[in-house]
Amino acid sequence: MGYNFTDNVKEYKNLISSTMLLSFVNVVSKKMKQLKLTGFIFFLFFFTESLMLPTELQDLDNFNITQKFIEENVEYITIITFAQYVQEATFEEMEKLVKDMVEYKDSCMANSMLPKCTKLPNDVLQEAICAMEGLPQKHNFSHCCSKADTERRLCFLYNKKANVGFLPPFPTLDPEEKCQAFKNNKESFLNHFVYEVARRNPFVFAPTLLTVAAHFGDVTKSCCEEQNKVNCFQTRAVPVMQYLKAFSSYQNNVCGVLLKFGTKIINSINIAILSQKFPKIEFKELISLIEDVSSTYDECCEGDVVHCIRHMSKIMNHICSKQDAVSSKIKECCEKKIPERDQCIINSSKDDRPKDLSLREGKFTDSENVCQERDADPDTFFAEFNFEYSRRHPDLSIPQLLRVVQMYNDLLRNCCNTENPPDCYHYAEEKFNETTEKGLKKIQQECKHSQNLGKDGLKYHYLIRLTKIAPQLSTEELVSLGKKMVTVFTTCCTLSEEFACVENLADLVLGELCGVNENRTINPAVDHCCKSNVAFRGPCFESLTAHKTYVPPPFSQDLFTFHTDMCQSQNEELQKKTDRFLVNIVKLKYEVANEELQSLLTNFGNAVEKCCKAEKDEEKLVCFNKESPKLVT
């Protein structure tokens, strides 16, 4: 049977999420039917005990599992690792490495006691990449090859480029060519697909890429048997790529937070998410689970494919081993086979609030010993506050929950230095409620404003705003970000939990703007927001105005010269050209008021409509040559 995505998966609908996978996919997957994965992916998740190459005699069953893992999956592991680390490399260069790794695997299977077989798989792959003649120099990563162990692994990590504008457009084949290539050599076809997807998504976790590849292979097989192949691919392949885009956005954001702010902030986010999803879990059990999640992100963001897979499965094992104490919603999930079990748990809804859970936890506002408990172990104290507050407020966004934790931290810093601390912090809950109410009203106003503007008006509003605060970004980046901001409101403002949805999804878009790598710089104001407290990233961006020291680029007539192909463009392509025109005109006329920019956009639309009415291409071209200069003078 094939993978069935529901037909009404909307563009980027998958992005409705918090900044943590378990909550993220919970909302996404309500728009998809349960996924049924192939035995290939089944094996990847099944293997949870040890993913290192054998270093000593082990239990026979475990040894056979290890051997089977290496034998069956070495090509895909190599492709993903290589394509994500060396994005510029050609497919032919990648094939050379795959051949080398297959030979390595064969030799270790013949004699596992060889010294080279005692190394971690990721170290073996990086050494093999560095050993490829001329490759480090050709693709500018020789500085990483001069390092060893942890330093080399981190170097490869920081060498990844989230912005892939330097790569050619994703190669496309018409359905007949695609099916012929699939028929001629299925393995090569899917290897090409994994290579192209992995190099354009360097921070996407390996299990996600493997899942997408399995989906795409099944879709291709099914559609190539259909008479109307074009319609089949449009119906079934597009949702698969949207699924990839959604996970890419989420995982890029996770890795960006990890690289810029470290494990402590990631843990705070995870505590909030898991407390909302599993409100009856005990605090000690939650902390144990958080440790597993943090290890997963360390390995997955670093690009250690093998250990990423292991830790993903370990989390699910942990949850199912304690399911009675974790959630009433996962019993049926834990009875399923792996990886259906894992997908089911991720998709499960938030557990019901325990009947005996009070509306508020008095120990953080009513106790006279709050300051002493904070001083005894600050990290554990605020982690427990995060847990207790988050599980009582499943309707709040993750940024809002983190803001409440920070507010409480600041409040105690002040109150614990007063003569009567209990009188000071006793009213903390009221302050939290005031802040939340303010945030809720603001989101309601923004939703109303977005509905008044309409979808196109909202898009142009954000294209202008984003270009003015970050004009240094490329036109394509700004167009993409503007489009995603529109998705925030068109998706969330119709939901009952619009507050959480808007903030969570907007935070993903801002995370994409800030980028993954720590050294990404745009301009001082934007950089400040990107490096400030994650909880306050949204409010920081809202306070930004046009970049005051920006110097517009020299006028380029090429950017504003239009041809007759404007008239042949389908609606979607014409919209893209219109969006690019607006961004380019904002960059050029940076000081112009928003109203005038909107007027220029209207003039552009009128000019296209006027010129495309001409009967002959020559007449259309004359018209465009006449009208174009009026738009930029």
Annotated binding-site residues read 299, 304
CA 430 to CA 428: how far, in whole Å?
A: 5
Annotate 123-184 with three-state secondary structure. HHHHHHHHHCCCHHHHCCCHHHHCCCHHHHHHHHHHCCCCCCCCCCCCCCCCHHHHHHHHHH
Rounded (to 5) percent helix, strand, coil in the chain = 70, 0, 30
The neighbour count for residue 600, using CB atoms within 10 Å, is 19
Report helix, strand or coil for 89.
coil
482 to each of 166, 362, 446, 531, how far by Cα in Å?
21, 43, 15, 21
CA 488 to CA 209: how far, in whole Å?
A: 25
Residue 32 DSSP symbol = B
Question: Is the dihedral angle over the CA atoms 284, 289, 294, 299 positive or is it negative?
Answer: positive
Residue 562 identity: F
Tokens in use for 285? 């059990």
The two most distant CA atoms of the chain are separated, in Å, by 85
* Cβ proximity of 192 and 76 under 8 Å: no
Per the annotation, binding residues for Ca(2+) are 299, 304
Write phi, then psi, for 615 (nearest 5 degrees). -75, -40
* Site of tokens 């919970």: 26
Q: How far is CA 424 from the centre of its chain?
A: 41
Kindly give the residue spans of alpha helices, DSSP state H, lying in 493-570. Answer: 498-514, 524-531, 537-542, 565-568
Kindly give the residue spans of alpha helices, DSSP state H, lying in 262-397. Answer: 263-277, 283-302, 305-321, 323-326, 331-334, 340-347, 370-376, 378-391
* Cβ proximity of 83 and 195 under 8 Å: yes
Write phi, then psi, for 5 (nearest 5 degrees). -95, 140
Per the annotation, binding residues for Zn(2+) are 304
**In which element (H, E) is residue 377 found?**
none
CA 432 to CA 437: how far, in whole Å?
A: 9
Report helix, strand or coil for 5.
strand
CA 85 to CA 154: how far, in whole Å?
A: 11
Half-sphere exposure at residue 620, Cβ-oriented, CA atoms within 13 angstroms: 15
The neighbour count for residue 186, using CB atoms within 10 Å, is 13
